Amino acid sequence: MTLPYKKRRLDKALSQSAVHPEPAIQIEMNDGPAIPRKTDPGLYSAWKFVVIAAPCLYIYLATYDQIAALLVSAMPGLGESWGWLKKIAGPEYVNSYRDAFLFIMPDGFYVTLQVTCLGIGVSIPVGIMTGLCRVSRIRIINLIASVYVEVVRGIPLLVQLFYIYYGVASIIRINPFMAAIISIGFCYGAYIGEVVRSGIEAVDRGQREAAMSLGFTPFQAMRHVILPQAIRTILPPLGNECISMLKDSSLVSMVAIIDILRRGREYASTTFNYFESYTMVALSYLFITLILSKGVSLLETRMGRYERR
Amino acid sequence: MNAADPIIVLTDVYKFFGNFAALTNVSLSIRRGEKVVLVGPSGSGKSTLLRTINRLETIDHGAITVNGQDIYDPKANLNRLRTSMGMVFQGFNLFRHKTALENVTMAPCQVLKMDPVEADKRGLDLLHKVGIADKAGNYPAQLSGGQQQRVAIARALAMNPDIMLFDEPTSALDPEVTHEVLDVMSAWPARA
């Protein structure tokens, strides 16, 4: 079994003794939304403050004229001494915040959530496939997945959206909604692919070795030992990606899809109440992301329970 | 095969990590029923040698024969070969998402396609033999180091291996619990 090139390598190796180089220290950076963890007290109390303040502001802005009307009807003297209160409570007063909210409310919310959910539905299967291909030892598969990730991550989502909506759609007919789902799904598929890859790589190498030593095939080892453990580490960052996706779904308003932002813009351009309209748009997104980020932190705690000793 | 025939034969094995020679010219032959202990300072290649026998590491030169079959033969059925070799690791490497019993029964169910009920029975039996049947439903994180290592031994034994490879099974344990593992190891009928 002596092979000439191995013999050469052997001689070379025997003649010199090299020390293994230390791996460079890596710092994990995450661009996801801030998750309120108890280990980060500043952020945790900030989250508690915002989660109370934002909905209160939201409700107050939507109903302040009705609150004023209630006050005036309950205490008529108050309306007499404070003229402005009487004005707000009066029938001819228009609360632009509530108008904007009602304009956004039913279908804007629905479309934003629909785009997000379908985007998640596309990007998670794509992401898992990409992640598996990225850890593949078969070079060509790994290469294809890596090229996909590099290309998609190097192009802004808005450009991808335009590319599919205007570029590709000029060659084959795609309806706007499909174009939006495809571009969001495949864009986030690449990001989720990287999350899946790092999750798989984070599973201790010994787990794979133990499985192999018991006679598992590589496929069985992946399916029964590595993936079930990787999913636990993946879930919280996956939740982060979903929140990011919800925020980035506002970009689809650029391609004639009537989501929250689009409705807000329509309201603003017809009434010129830009401030009121965009305030409600911003609060709407904040409200949803706050709830979701709490959901992710709960998920993290649940998942972490089995890991700690 | 004659009982006196060697079950593991290593001839002129070399192994490199980059330019670092981990194994140089190792030859060894172990007979069925023999217990062999490798002793040496850390970094001397004991683990590497064990791992090459299981083909968790490839070798750069030489040949390894197990049960009369060259394990570096590209046609060798590696998974079948590995089922005949149980390995116990320094760091236990229990499947952390499975209970102790599931750790033991998983390989028989998946690899040998054993009936789950029968596998459970055998698994409990093995856990009983290593003295931790009462912890069958616990996750590895809920077990002490010595208990984990005993589960790992039961897991390796569940495949009915001809050969058991122990890679420093007690080095990660407190001296007080080392004897738990050593007792289990010495109580087992003599094998390689």
Closest chain A residue by Cα to residue B143: A309
Nearest to A6 among B56, B60, B110 (CB): B60
Pick from A1, A208, A213 the residue to mutate for testing the B interface (most B CBs within 10 Å). A213
- N- to C-terminal Cα distance for chain A? 48
Q: Are A185 and A118 in contact (CB under 8 A)?
A: yes
User: Rounded to an integer, what distance in angstroms lies between the CA atom of residue A110 and that of residue A91?
Assistant: 31
CA angle A255–A188–A159, rounded 5-degree value:
40
- For A245, residues 6+ apart whose C-beta sits below 8 A from its C-beta are A116, A119, A120, A123, A184, A188
Strands B85-88 and B69-70: unpaired
Size of interface A-B (CB pairs under 8 A): 105
Nearest to A1 among B63, B91, B159 (CB): B63
User: Rounded to an integer, what distance in angstroms lies between the CA atom of residue A119 and that of residue A59?
Assistant: 29
Q: Which of A127-131, B41-45, B67-71, B98-102 is modeled with the greatest confidence?
A: A127-131
Q: How many CB atoms lie within 10 A of CB A198?
A: 17
Q: Are A178 and A242 in contact (CB under 8 A)?
A: no
Beta strands in B32-148 (DSSP E): 61-66, 69-70, 85-88
Contact residues, chain A, for B155 at CB < 8 Å: 210, 214
User: Rounded to an integer, what distance in angstroms lies between the CA atom of residue A89 and that of residue B156?
Assistant: 79
CA distance B117 to chain A (A): 19
User: Rounded to an integer, what distance in angstroms lies between the CA atom of residue A116 and that of residue A184?
Assistant: 9
Pick from B95, B126, B138, B162 the residue to mutate for testing the A interface (most A CBs within 10 Å). B95
pLDDT of residue A125: 94
pTM value?
Answer: 0.76
Complex prediction ipTM? 0.83
Residues B59-113: tens digit of each pLDDT: 888 888 888 788 877 777 777 788 888 888 888 888 888 888 888 898 888 888 8
Closest chain B residue by Cα to residue A233: B97
Residue A208 or A9, more confident: A208
pLDDT bucket at A94, cuts 50 / 70 / 90: confident
Residues A170-217: tens digit of each pLDDT: 898 888 888 899 999 999 999 999 999 999 998 888 888 888 888 888
Residues A95-121: tens digit of each pLDDT: 888 888 888 878 888 999 999 999 999
Whether the CB of A308 is below 8 Å from some CB of chain B: the reply is yes
Residue A46 or A244, more confident: A244
Mean pLDDT (chain A) is 82
pLDDT of residue A11: 58
Whether the CB of A204 is below 8 Å from some CB of chain B: the reply is yes
* β-bridge partners, A100: none
Whether the CB of A205 is below 8 Å from some CB of chain B: the reply is no
User: Rounded to an integer, what distance in angstroms lies between the CA atom of residue A87 and that of residue A133?
Assistant: 65
Task: Give the single-character DSSP code of A138.
Answer: -
Q: Is B20 close to A18, i.e. CB distance below 8 A?
A: yes
Q: Are A184 and A126 in contact (CB under 8 A)?
A: no
Exposure on the CB side of residue A217, measured as CA atoms within 13 A: 7
User: Rounded to an integer, what distance in angstroms lies between the CA atom of residue A102 and that of residue A179?
Assistant: 28
pLDDT at A145 over 90: yes
User: Rounded to an integer, what distance in angstroms lies between the CA atom of residue B77 and that of residue B175?
Assistant: 39
Q: Which two tokens stand for residue A178?
A: 């499909």
What is the share, in percent, of chain A residues with pLDDT greater than 70? 86
Q: Which of A1, A225, A202, A32 is nearest to B73 (CA)?
A: A1
Nearest to B93 among A18, A19, A207 (CB): A207
User: Rounded to an integer, what distance in angstroms lies between the CA atom of residue A37 and that of residue A90?
Assistant: 46
CA distance A278 to chain B (A): 47
- For A47, residues 6+ apart whose C-beta sits below 8 A from its C-beta are A34, A36, A290, A293, A294
pLDDT of residue A19: 40
The total number of residues written for chain A in this structure: 309
Q: Is A213 close to B54, i.e. CB distance below 8 A?
A: yes
Choose the weakest-confidence range: A19-23, B43-47, B79-83, B132-136. Answer: A19-23
Nearest to B62 among A1, A12, A210 (CB): A1
Pick from B65, B93, B151 the residue to mutate for testing the A interface (most A CBs within 10 Å). B93
Whether the CB of B116 is below 8 Å from some CB of chain A: the reply is no
Whether the CB of B61 is below 8 Å from some CB of chain A: the reply is yes
Q: Is B89 close to A209, i.e. CB distance below 8 A?
A: yes
Continuous segment of H or E residues that includes residue A246: helix A227-248
